Structure 1
């Protein structure tokens, strides 16, 4: 497990990561205005239950009470990503988004990054639902969307050095591909060994797959993958190399000037 702290990766196409900042603010404000979904370990905040993603509502016959079903079931593919269980859940997701989101937003542009983020959230919910289609436990958290952002960063900037906190205590500067490849592999491994765990590894994997695919088609024209340097050839001045006829010097002038 690692915690990202900082990357030294300047923005090239935008001045400010306004969508990344807006998403972080939205998640934080929603958390503090509404409170966590789980008030206690076994007590659910019923006012927020209708915004969580419940697979049994999509794939099964389960229904919510009229007072709880506040948004269409299809909308919960997105709304669940703005709810969090506690401060740690919120903080880790937003830290990942803060470190990696700005450069992905830079590569895609503001509007396409927002679409990308929401699409990764929806993909995470869908994969989670396909794995546990009759679960009545609400899925919450931005992890699916943030996993897509991490995957996109992995393809765009694998060589950038990222300061990470390893084992919660050791800060190390590493090329991004090392911690990110390990983190991505961990999500697939955990999904394989424990698909019905309390942590939705399926949502993480769904977001990763969506992020890897979408960044290929949604990035700006000319934005390379894998930190490749795009070399723009300098203008070449065309020189006429055809032989030209020369005129003899006027007034009997030789190569050393006019003879007396």
Structure 2
């Protein structure tokens, strides 16, 4: 797996929506997600985990809730207690009303850990500005949300009985990657390739993003990974395909990226 670092494809205008999405994701994780700072320092305890479970159950998208449009009778309350199996999280009747449709929106700004957050933000930072530049601010925001909704419902249809919370911007960000592949397939992307050490290479976007998509498709079938049940690879695949389809009408009028000769990480080499 290659790690993208920078693309040689400057935007013509400031990507305000991309910046706002980045800021919102970071603020929600750091300031609102229970135990986020404790997970960084290793200070999380059972109480933090129970509060996090209750928080995610309330604001995350749950596949069976999306498909059947109803909440379960019992949900985590955020408290801790001691049961027959020892200490654990307390469950009880929900003390709130939850809209499954709105939960898809709130779930896009929730993340399960620092690596989950930073991975999504890295891809959005690198590829979001050019897609926003081509679409315009308002259309890009609508595009981002549509891809996120399509990815969530696509995953829910593939696993309608699941009660596991579905969180993260991955589906919407995958849509951004699909759009970038359609609009700027020849743009050069600096990546780090782990081979004994991290080797910097400059590759065409169609190789970087095409490889990413193939891996997600393979992983979505459960092949080659042991955590296929905890990562919504199907959502990544759906978001990517929807992003490609929505961006396709814009391809004819898209100016090509600049030639990368003599350019190193966005600056002209001397």
Quick check: TM above 0.5? yes
Pairing 1:204–2:236 present:
yes
Deviations 1:235-256 (A, max 9, x none): xxxxxxxxxxxxxxxxxxxxxx
Deviation at 1:222, TM superposition (A): 2.6
Deviation at 1:209, TM superposition (A): 1.4
The equivalent residue for 1:177 is: 206
Match of 1:56 among 56, 61, 64: 64
Contact 2:187-2:257 at 8 Å conserved across structures: no
The equivalent residue for 1:67 is: 95
> Distance in 2 between the 1:131 and 1:150 partners?
22
The equivalent residue for 1:87 is: 114
> Distance in 2 between the 1:68 and 1:128 partners?
25
1:91-240 residue pairs with structure 2 within 5 A? 91-167=118-194, 169-193=198-222, 197-217=229-249, 219=250, 222-223=253-254, 227=256
Q: Secondary structure at the match of 1:193?
A: coil
Gaps of 5+ in 1: 230-260
Larger mean Cα displacement after TM superposition, 19-28 or 72-81: 72-81
Larger mean Cα displacement after TM superposition, 48-57 or 120-129: 48-57
> Distance in 2 between the 1:41 and 1:216 partners?
48
Deviations 1:138-194 (A, max 9, x none): 000110000000111111111111111223822211111111111111111111235
Deviation at 1:55, TM superposition (A): 0.8
Task: Label 1:2 to 1:196 Cα distance change in 2 as closer, same or farther (>3 A).
Answer: closer
Judging by fraction of residues, say which structure has more strand.
2
- Higher Rg: 1
Contact 2:56-2:165 at 8 Å conserved across structures: no
Contact 2:33-2:55 at 8 Å conserved across structures: no
Contact 1:53-1:77 at 8 Å conserved across structures: yes
Gaps of 5+ in 2: 76-92, 259-270
Q: Secondary structure at the match of 2:253?
A: coil
Pairing 1:21–2:53 present:
no
How many residue pairs get matched? 223
